[in-house]
């Protein structure tokens, strides 16, 4: 039930608040990514989303071809311990990640070809910062349509994930 309570929270913020959050704390975003890179094995992809009570709403782990998708994982549970063990994590890594996310007013992180850091949920949707490892090319920038993705600058793309309901595009206030 807690997942739906947080998912159905509505956060109406402006595009300026969204971009200023990144721009004013860029070094903290870099620090989070550097830390995450240092603890996630090279052959793994991890998605974490923290609930307000600091448990994990999402804890997905992909290692090589083994996939484990997990929702509503309590921090002090056998399930959480098992997932952390697969990653070679000790007890403190999740607390450090949560602390670093909280410091930048964010709730989630995912590694892959780019980092996707979740800013806030708005109903069933979520707003993300996609942080690419290099500056985007002109062709990549052109693919940022303004519907689900908006080019911010250099290697940063803003994204809106609509969730199960609602518009697939950013709300009008962002365009």
Q: Where are the domains of the chain?
A: 8-174
Whole-model pTM: value is 0.91
pLDDT at 39 over 60: yes
Longest dimension (CA), the chain: 47
Beta strand ranges found along the chain (DSSP E): 44-50, 56-63, 66-68, 71-73, 108-110, 115-122, 125-131, 149-153, 156-161
Tokens of 35: 């830390």
Determine the Cα–Cα distance for residues 96 and 111; give it in Å rounded to an integer: 16
Tell me which long-range contacts 66-75 makes (C-beta under 8 A, separation of at least 24).
Answer: 71/3, 72/2, 72/3
Phi, psi (rounded to 5 degrees) for 73: -100, 120
Instruction: Please write the tens of the pLDDT for every residue from 108-127.
Output: 999 999 999 999 998 888 99
Under a CB-based contact definition with an 8 Å cutoff, are residues 49 and 55 in contact?
Answer: no
Q: How do residues 140-160 score in pLDDT, each as one tens digit?
A: 999 997 789 999 999 999 999
């Amino acid at each position: 039930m807690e997942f739906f309570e947080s998912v159905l929270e509505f956060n109406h913020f402006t595009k300026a608040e969204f971009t200023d959050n990144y721009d004013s704390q860029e070094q903290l975003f870099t620090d989070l990514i550097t830390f995450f890179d240092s603890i996630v094995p090279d052959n793994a992809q991890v998605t974490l989303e923290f609930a307000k009570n600091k448990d994990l709403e999402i804890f997905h782990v992909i290692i090589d071809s083994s996939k484990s998708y997990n929702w509503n994982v309590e921090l002090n549970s056998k399930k959480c311990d098992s997932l952390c063990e697969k990653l070679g994590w000790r007890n403190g890594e999740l607390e450090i990640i949560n602390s670093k996310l909280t410091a930048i007013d964010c709730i989630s992180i995912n590694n892959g070809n780019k980092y996707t850091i979740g800013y806030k949920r708005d109903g069933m949707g979520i707003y993300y910062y996609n942080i690419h490892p290099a500056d985007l090319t002109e062709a990549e920038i052109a693919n940022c349509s303004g519907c689900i993705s908006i080019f911010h600058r250099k290697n940063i793309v803003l994204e809106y994930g609509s969730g199960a309901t609602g518009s697939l595009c950013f709300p009008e206030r962002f365009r």
